[in-house]
Structure 1
């Protein structure tokens, strides 16, 4: 296990805005999830970003330039029982060894399309297996 520097953003139920914190140490993704209690029922969504090298002066510009740094929509399923809900699969850290698929719903503020970068996914569940994510989406009502 290597030393890492991570930024963790957490949106909790009942809070208007997400909170961000950093972690420095010897830990992996599962360790961070456990340490910060990210699978607790009061966590609506979270994002873990590994910070590597020197930080650029403009973080937004840096995120746009780094492959795999955002959450990109892979697939969408609109409707079902609740016509105002859009279920989705996002991919985080695209093209990296730590790539993971995020299953949940979008905020419906705008009509997202596959390939769009989005800020977060509500009611997120995570998997490293594309087949599991696709199965989840196919069986959502």
Structure 2
């Protein structure tokens, strides 16, 4: 298995950061296998979604509706409402696995691999790519 880690600057606001190009670069020399994308953080997740047509903003809005950033959370350190950031990975897993066929990600036409980070207290994220040849 081959593995590498990159650093992503997400800044001080909730973001959906497209990782697809980084994924493609990582598997560029490979043929067939599985790519795993993993975020080793308690307040971020990885998913597959359409980007650029408003779906990324819709996802953040849905998370705000489902998990409001208010004072209801028992986990109280950080900015107000930060406790909800620790619940996000229960809804947005910390990893996804994508098939790689003939050196290309086997994603649907509009699918992108994204990092979802709602934690405004942590502006830098680590993302690990691992490739298992098939």
> Which structure is richer in relative contact order (CA contacts within 8 A, separation 6 or more)?
2
Q: Which has the higher helix share?
A: 2
